[in-house]
Chain A
Amino acid sequence: MLLWVAGFIILLVKLTIVLGVVLFLAGYLVWVERKFLARLQIRLGPNRAGPYGLLQPLADIVKMITKEDTVPDGADRAFFLLAPAVVASTAILMFSVVPFGNDITLLGQRVPLVVTDLNIGLLFVLALSSLSVYGVALGGWASNSKYGLLGGIRGAAQMISYELSLGLSLIPIVMMAHSFSMVEIVEAQKSYPFILFQPVAFLIFVVSAMAESKRIPFDLPEAENELVAGYHTEYSGMRFGLFFLGEYVHIMVFGGILAVLFLGGWRGPFLPPVVWLLIKIFLVALFMIWVRGTLPRLRYDQLMDLGWKVLIPLALINILVTGAVGLIVH
Chain B
Amino acid sequence: MQPAAAGAMSPFHAGVFSLVVFTVLVMLFIASQLFLAAWLGEKKKSPEKSRPYECGIIPTGSASFRYPVPFYLVAIFFLIFDVEGAFILTWAVVYREVGLAGYAQMSFFILLLLAGLFYIWKQGGLDWKEAYNRADS
Contact = CB atoms under 8 A, between A and B. Distances in A.
**Are A and B close enough to touch in the complex, i.e. CB under 8 Å?**
yes
Contacts of A320: 107, 110-111
Contacts of B71: 153, 156-157
A156 B80 CA distance: 16
B110 A115 contact: no
A123 B51 CA distance: 41
Interface of A: 1-4, 7-8, 10-12, 15-16, 18-19, 23, 65-75, 81-82, 84-85, 88-89, 92-93, 96, 109-112, 114-118, 123, 143-149, 153, 156-157, 160-161, 163-164, 167-168, 171-172, 174-175, 178-180, 183, 228, 233-234, 237-239, 241-242, 300-301, 304-305, 308-309, 312-313, 316-317, 319-320, 323-324, 326-327, 330
B4 A3 contact: yes
Given A73-B50, A160-B74, A164-B82, A11 B40 contact: no
6 contacts: A72-B51, A146-B59, A161-B78, A241-B37, A301-B129, A326-B95
Given A116-B15, A149-B64, A93 B26 contact: yes
A7 to B, nearest CB: 4
Question: Could you tell me the dominant secondary structure of chain A's interface residues?
Answer: helix
A323 B99 CA distance: 10
A145 B53 contact: yes
B50 A92 contact: no
Contact of B11 (A7, A241, A301): A7
A15 B55 contact: no
A69 B65 CA distance: 27
Contacts of A145: 52-54, 59, 63
Interface of B: 1-2, 4-5, 9-16, 18-19, 21-23, 25-27, 29-31, 33-34, 36-38, 40-44, 49-55, 59, 62-65, 67, 71, 74-75, 77-78, 81-82, 85, 88-89, 92-96, 99-100, 103, 106-107, 110-111, 113-114, 117, 121, 126-129
A116 B50 contact: no
A239 B110 contact: no
A308 B117 contact: yes
A167 B33 CA distance: 32
A59 to B, nearest CB: 16
Contacts of A93: 22-23, 26
Contact of B85 (A1, A114, A168, A172): A168
A19 B5 contact: no
Given A68-B43, A116-B18, A167-B85, A316 B26 contact: no
